[in-house]
Structure 1
Amino acid sequence: MESQIIHRKFIILYVLAALSIWGAAASSSSEDFLECLGFELQKLDKLYSSDIFYSSNNASFTSILQSSAFNLRLGSSSSGLQKPVAIITPLHESQIQASVYCFKNHNIQLRVRSGGHDFEGLSYVSYDNSSNSFPFAVVDMRNLRSISIDTETNTAWVQTGATLGLLYATIAQNSKTLGFPAGTCPSVGVGGHFSGGGYGMMSRAHGLASDNIIDVVLVDADARILDRESMGEDHFWATRGGGGASFGIIVAFKIKLVNVPEIVTVFNVSRTLEQNATQLIHKWQYIADKVDENLSLRLFMTSPKVSDDDINDGGGKKNKKRTVVAHFTSLFLGGVDHLLTIMKETFPELGVTNEDCTEMSWIEAMIFFAQLPLNNTTSQLIDDLSSGTGGSGLSKTYFKGKSDYVRVPIPEDGLTGIWEYFKNEDGWLGEVQFSPYGGRINDLSETQTPFPHRAGNIYMIEYGIHWDEARISESQKHINWIRRLHNYMAPYVSNSPRAQYINYRDLDVGKNNLHGYTSYNQASSWGFKYFKMNFDRLVRVKTKVDPTNFFRNEQSIPPLPSLQINTFRDHHNNMKEFVQYANV
């Protein structure tokens, strides 16, 4: 007994040293919290590790916080955003349980980070800078990244601290004919990407990442470890596209791997405005979602900063005006001969030739789209992760992004209007991506998962702008540019609601209150854009599994307090439907 008491005191003293004091906002409860955490860790004796806690004045705190924070706009001193008071990097799910238990019981907010690519950084910063703001800490999943592949059942268990690059490399090390349909940036974390949908170059052939999730393990707001069976189908449904960190801390996903041919084909064909890019993009809109589902014709538009003499009109003449370049970057799950036949039948105007195409393995294609060297393929993805460079040649920059969905082709004069934004002084820092839908994405109805953007969408637009200066005036100038472009696009994109992709999070569409409750109407301002009518079901699930709103951020799903019931009822004309909603 005496040795246990000494051990417990040692742990508490260590945590005090590691976390110090939580700051003035939490000083009254800091000792109680630390006592709680020390006691819970004492029960986890064999699992305890001294290097999983980083207080805000720990020498390693800043490097841990910034290591996977890829948007410098959010971490700069000029941002004015609130930083966490501590970071916890658990080695075992039971340490997450202990953290949830103590955080919840001492009114300290908790955020969870898997990869750090959140466009608005809600996994590691807070936009609440009021004098009565609550302290918060981050559970960083970086150490929980194990992957177990079962080639007999074509399934895998993936912990949410793993990155897409690590997942792809691990699959390739186990099979030449298995893959997984998710994004192209290898340093993106599995946790946030999968829980928001997860679009990628194979989505037209195999659906989204979230469509291929068959089980999940998470720690809920009561610090319980749940799987699909124990949490129930409503809770499980919410994790497959309802956005990260609203319904618990997801520890691992069980995913269904997909069959890929041993040989796939890629090409990247670029055309300028002088080479009829406008007409090619216009035609692309009529075929991109309808071609063979094994073909993904993704489109990137940029306006690189060039000298007057660097632009050729395609006929040998120099053009001294800035231009726009359209990059048709494509993956075909098959050989080059079959691809060329499809292209000649559906998109001969692009003029793709055999010389434009390269046959390779699926894992090499993932390296190709990540813009990494093709040698040492699987180790390259893992090494790139370990180096902390960000993957896919991605350097850390100041960044702002937005998204849209297109259901009717944009006319040529509408496209021409986009080019005018690229040609101004900020335009060379911007990029617009058109990602084709159709194929297997349409196999599920809008309500089968929280991700609603299915049949009827031709493509998704991602707008992005990067810059490299921290000054507030500089950041605001570039943010204004992308906002103006987004406003210009309003007549050409979806409406009622103007839909957006939760994985391209954008606080411009609305945010929650961090003090007090957030009303259903207030959250609807952003909720229906991301989830359409699925937002209602997500609110019901949240009310059931986390009624005190422990897992929250500026765009987390809010629970439905009793005083909001009337508002919620008024939103639904059908009383029978309301009764079903109220009986969660």
Structure 2
Amino acid sequence: MAVSSRGLALALVLSFSSLCYLAAPSPAATTSDPDGFLQCLSGSVPSGLIYTQGASNFTDVLASSVRNPRVFTGDTARPLCVVTATDASHVQAAVRCGRARGVRLRVRSGGHDYEGLSYRSLQRGEVFAVVDLTRLRAIVVSAGGGGAWPAAPTAWVESGATLGELYYTVAGNNSGLAFPAGICPTIGVGGHLSGGGIGMLMRRFGLAADNVLDAKLVTADGDLVDRAAMGEDLFWAIRGGGGGNFGIVVSWKVGLVRVPPTVTALNVMRTLDQGAIDVVNRWQEVGPTLPSDITMRVIIQGQQATFQTLYLGRCGDLVPTLGTFFPELGMTAADCLEMTWLQSVGFFHTWNPNAPVESLLNRGTSLSTFTKNKSDYVRRAIAKDDWKSIFPWFAMSGAGMIILEPHGGFIGTVPPSATPYPHRSGVLYNIQYIAFWPAGSDGSAATSWISNFYDFMGQFVTNNPREAYVNYRDLDIGENTVVNDVSTLDGGKVWGERYFAGNFRRLAAVKGAVDPTDFFRNEQSIPPLLQGNNRWGKRLG
């Protein structure tokens, strides 16, 4: 039986049109007509859902899901308006009006874009609008039926729902079901799935994007299509190729996974005096090779490492397992916290084992802390002596933290070309660098620390390319070059091959097929690869 977070099934009217057999679309208008765009919108979108710059609450609406005030400054271009869509037809109208009147669109779901490209432009003269999907948040769970061949459990979730809302609704329908995605509950589903989606269940069940079964997307022509209509090339691209590149996904069908009624969570902390360097050094070999129902990530801050672990089972089984595989950690039964999977999500987010699961529904935001993030991948373990040179960085002025996310397990068995996320076989772990400082501070110490530390770490991580994770977007690694109003392939390769490795060119070919005029564009959007007549009229090879 279907259960909805709004008590209603999704009501999306599909306008199917196969991408494989359409003629090339007409180019977008080269001259922006802001007044014409707003007038066009008013014919299809209720006025109460459109917030223009002249509205008294425009800034509040624009800031409503900003997660990093570092990028919410007066130095960047603000949108002509924010369209707070409540139906797929509103998204279609925004696209069609934008194409007709020369106004590009940027799209946001949860607002966690680290560089804010989903709601701002670095091009001061650019005229653009924001399509905000946060009101599109319905979740419909189909838990599967009985009989000899029970259906696999699935859910349809709209892009504006948060991960916390998805987790809460899924577990509320059936506590034995879960979805493998990220830890932070305020992340929007749309952006997370678009970039791959790493999390505490990926070693057992894969990335969030690996579990996407279908999607409903508004194309660059404003048509609403599902997987069958969009074709497998575009469906491949939207599952990890980054948000805001190929169209606007308004909802996703995801496969749910089964988890035991009791899981074990723990935070084991080790200081330098307690041998943190030795334990981290050993973790590099152990973390990616543990049984896939164990995920142990490491958070390093100050002179301490925290080993944060989720086990899909009970403490009595975990203690001997870690005693065999990882005795250096010194974990005991006293470290265990047994709880439901849903409770574990709240624990890993708050570090509070008593956090109510209802807290996962909190969509609140704050503009009090500025952050800068970067990322790396490690395929060869860093030597112990090198860790001795790394830890002093966390005692420096402005020092932030790093999070090490183990790969291996199921994710390492998936071919790198299966989805756009290429960081699969051979990856030991991902590194996320985080620097932060309070509003009102110039942040120079923190930004200097992360920049210099990232440069220092270059000798220990992947190279040619130095891999990065698209969901930890970082403009420092490159921006698009635009020639004749279209992003160039050579400009995009600078950053694109770091996010997507060998999959970048295929993504560019998909872009060239479905959005050859580069309507969906930002400073790090996939550029279109245009080859002969390969523009909507032919399948990609």
TM-score in same-fold range (> 0.5): yes
What CA distance in whole angstroms lies between the structure 1 residues aligned with 2:273 and 2:351? 30
Partner of 1:92: 87
Pick from 305, 308, 328: which aligns with 1:329? 308
One-letter amino acid of the counterpart of residue 478, structure 1: A
Q: Determine the C-alpha separation between the residues in 1 that align with 2:99 and 2:436.
A: 37
Quote the residue 1:418 is aligned against: 390
CA distance in 2, matches of 1:86, 1:551: 16
| Cα distance, 1:117–1:28 mapped onto 2, change above 3 Å | closer
Aligned to 2:131: 139
RMSD: 2.0
Is 1:182 matched with 2:181? yes
Letter in 2 for 1:233: E
> Secondary structure at 2:443's aligned position in 1?
helix
| Cα distance, 1:444 vs structure 2 | 1.2
Three-state SS of the structure 2 residue aligned to 1:409 is: coil
Amino acid at match of 2:396: N
- Structure 1 Cα separation of the partners of residues 528 and 196 of structure 2: 22
Q: Which amino acid aligns with 2:84?
A: T
Structure 1, unaligned runs of 5 or more: 1-25, 42-47, 304-323, 566-580
Amino acid at match of 2:455: N
- Measured after TM superposition, the shift of residue 477 of structure 1 is 3.6
CA deviation string 1:542-574 (max 9, x = no partner):
0000000000101110112469x9xxxxxxxxx
TM-score (norm 2): 0.89
- Whether 1:397 aligns to 2:365 is no
CA 1:292–1:582 in structure 2 vs 1: closer, same or farther (change >3 Å)? Answer: closer
Structure-2 change in CA distance of 1:389 and 1:213 (3 Å): same
Aligned pairs for 1:158-557 within 5 A = 158-303=157-302, 324-371=303-350, 377-382=356-361, 384-385=362-363, 388-389=364-365, 396-427=368-399, 430-470=400-440, 474-513=442-481, 516-557=485-526
Which AA in structure 2 matches 1:137?
A: A
- Partner AA of 2:391 in structure 1: W
SS of the counterpart of 1:491? coil
Higher relative contact order (CA 8 A, sep 6+): 2
State the distance in 1 between where 2:341 and 2:91 align: 35
- 2:153 paired with 1:120: no
* Cα distance between partner residues in 2 of 1:477 and 1:582: 51
Query: 1:258–1:97: structure 2 CA closer, same or farther, 3 Å change rule?
Result: same
Query: How far apart are the structure 2 equivalents of 1:494 and 1:30?
Result: 45
- Within 2, Cα distance between the matches of 1:197 and 1:170? 21
Match of 1:70, as an amino acid? R
Q: Are the structure 2 counterparts of residues 412 and 49 from structure 1 closer, same or farther at C-alpha, using a change threshold of 3 Å?
A: same
Shift of 1:373: 5.3
Contact kept? 1:205, 1:294, Cα under 8 Å: yes
Letter in 1 for 2:40: C
Structure 2 counterpart SS, 1:486: helix
CA distance in 2, matches of 1:511, 1:198: 23
Instruction: State whether residues 420 and 507 of structure 2, in contact with CA within 8 Å, keep that contact through their aligned partners in structure 1.
Output: yes
Deviation at 1:263, TM superposition (A): 0.4
Q: Is the 8 A contact 1:363 1:377 kept in 2?
A: no
- What is the TM-score when the length of structure 1 is the normalising length? 0.83
Indicate if the aligned counterparts of 2:281 and 2:384 stay in contact, CA closer than 8 A: yes
> Which structure dedicates a bigger proportion of its chain to helix?
1
| Structure 2 segments unaligned to the other structure (5+ residues) | 1-29, 145-151
Partner SS state of residue 290, structure 2: coil
8 Å contact from structure 1 (residues 398, 470) kept in 2:
no
Question: Could you tell me whether the CA contact under 8 Å between 2:136 and 2:160 is conserved in 1?
Answer: yes
Write the letter of the residue equivalent to 2:36. Answer: D
Structure 1 residues 335-362: Cα deviation after superposition (integer angstroms, max 9, x where no partner): 0011101110011111111111111000
- Deviation for aligned residue 1:463: 0.4
- Per-residue deviation, residues 239-264 of structure 1 (Å, max 9, x unmatched): 11000010100000100000100000
Where 1:128 maps in the other structure, the secondary structure is coil
Contact 2:469–2:499 (CA under 8 A) maintained in structure 1: yes
Give the whole-Å Cα distance in 2 for the aligned partners of 1:528 and 1:30. Answer: 35
| Partners of 2:381 and 2:529 in 1: CA distance | 39
What SS is found at the alignment partner of 2:497? Answer: helix
Contact 2:176 2:261 in 1 (8 A): yes
Instruction: List per-residue Cα deviations over 1:443-485 (Å, max 9, x = no partner).
Output: 21000110000010000000000101445xx234422211111
Amino acid at match of 1:521: D
Match of 1:316 in 2: none
Deviations 1:377-414 (A, max 9, x none): 442222x22xx146xxxx75111000000011101221
What percentage of aligned pairs have identical amino acids? 43
Structure 2 SS opposite 1:169:
helix
Match of 2:10 in 1: none
Partner of 2:5: none
Amino acid in the other structure paired with 1:86: C
**1:53 match:** 50
CA contact (8 A) 2:435 2:450 kept: yes
